Amino acid sequence: MQIVKKILEGDIKTAARFIRDIDDKMPNVSNVLKKLYPHTGHAYIIGITGFPGVGKSTLVDQLIQVIREQGKSVGVISIDPTSPFSGGAILGDRIRMQRNALDDDVFIRSLATRGYFGGLTASTKGVVDVMDAMGKDFILVETVGVGQDEVDVMNVAHSTLIVLIPGMGDNIQAIKAGILEVGDIFVINKADQKGVERTVRDIQIMIEIDQSLKRGEDKDGWVPKIMRTQAIAGVGTKELFDQIIVHRDFLFGEGIDYYKKRKYLRDRLELLDMIESKILGDMINRLEKSGELDEALGKMYDDNIDPYTLCDDIIERLLHKDI
């Protein structure tokens, strides 16, 4: 297949256009992804999440710089929200990553959530595989950054970075409740601002409490680290990258059992996800094409049949391929 060959050669145009096909759920996609899959597994994937305005994109820009200085290639997936009203989106994260715009070893792709929750897009896993197959050494995944539920990135990334800024008082509460387990490294960006010591202390305490609550089998896991950066000036980003490498070495070294366990759960979830979306996609497609949905609504209004009954009836017939 020409597409597969070109992507494996690192051809940007083909890769970029195939990514669009994944995003648009085109029919041929899974055939290509099947052929790409054996060529994946080389890239190290770093997830970057955190609230809007904490400087995620600028941090990504700095990490690109550090990675390139080491002669490694990098792919970036940057996600922005789709407007629920229009279905459109403004993808503006690239702006802050333009320093390496002309470097062929830096491939940046902006994606819109298109109604997908969890901070990623439905296509993210596929796009990661494409970049991996292209031979990128590192892939940075920047989540949409809208709230506290952005935990999906941990299922894609090897190392997950949670970016915070000083003085986020209430938000730290939210993190406590939501995404503490997700973070492998906590990054306190804009560390020249006041309140940084307090933020570091708060997170430190959270980590300690979390560690002491963990049951025995989790003890061989990783103890999250806290790093300080001023991404806009490039301060602390080299050290941050070094810490990511420490985490990588841990995962593939003394933490290998822990990593395998994590990976198994992840792959399981992913397979389940894939099956779910395929079944669901197929059924919804059939349903919409058949016109059964409007027919059912007709029954609801004209014959006073309740929606619960209608739902059961439709599912029954979908399963028996009557629709």
Q: Which residues of 256-282 are buried (b: 16+ CB within 10 A; e: fewer)?
A: eebbeebeeeeeeeeeeeeeeeeeeee
* Distance between CA atoms of residues 152 and 122, nearest Å: 11
Instruction: Using DSSP, state whether 180 is helix, strand or coil.
Output: helix
26 binds another protein (CB under 8 A): yes
CB-wise, 14 or 155, nearer to another protein? 14
Question: Smaller CB distance to another protein: residue 11 or 210?
Answer: 11
Query: How far is 298 from 120, CA to CA, in rounded Å?
Result: 37
Report 79-98 residues binding another protein (CB under 8 A).
82-83, 85-92, 94-96, 98
Contact with another protein (CB under 8 A) among 9, 16, 277, 298: 16
Least distance (Å) between residue 133 CB and another protein: 15
54/185 with CB nearer another protein: 54
Helix (H, G, I), strand (E, B) or coil at 185: strand
DSSP 223: P
Q: 107: which 2 tokens?
A: 């491939």
Amino acid symbol at 162: I
Residues between 154 and 193 with contacts to another protein, criterion CB under 8 A = none
Binding part of the chain for another protein, among 24-32, 62-70, 217-225, 312-320 by CB under 8 A, reads 24-32
Distance from C-alpha of 83 to C-alpha of 240, rounded to nearest angstrom: 33
Q: Which range, of 25-33, 151-159, 196-204, 218-226, touches another protein by CB under 8 A?
A: 25-33
Query: How many residues contact another protein, by CB under 8 A?
Result: 41
Interacting positions 213-232 with another protein (CB under 8 A): 232
Spatial contact of 44 and 138, defined as CB atoms under 8 Å apart: yes
Contacts to another protein from residues 102-121, by CB under 8 A: 102, 107-110, 112
Q: According to the binding rule CB under 8 A, does residue 20 interact with another protein? A: yes
Give the chain's end-to-end CA distance (angstroms, integer): 34
Nearer to another protein, 3 or 128 (CB): 3
Instruction: Give 105's Cβ-side CA count (13 Å radius).
Output: 11
Comparison of 17 and 34: residue with beta carbon closer to another protein: 17
Contacts of 93 (CB under 8 A, 6+ apart): 56, 57, 60, 78, 80, 110, 142
Taking CB under 8 A as the rule, does residue 316 contact another protein? no
In angstroms, the CA 11 to CA 4 distance is: 10
**Between residues 29 and 246, which has the closer beta carbon with respect to another protein?**
29
* Residues of the shown chain interacting with another protein in the complex, contacts defined by CB under 8 A: 3, 12-14, 16-21, 24-28, 32, 53, 82-83, 85-92, 94-96, 98, 101-102, 107-110, 112, 232-233, 285
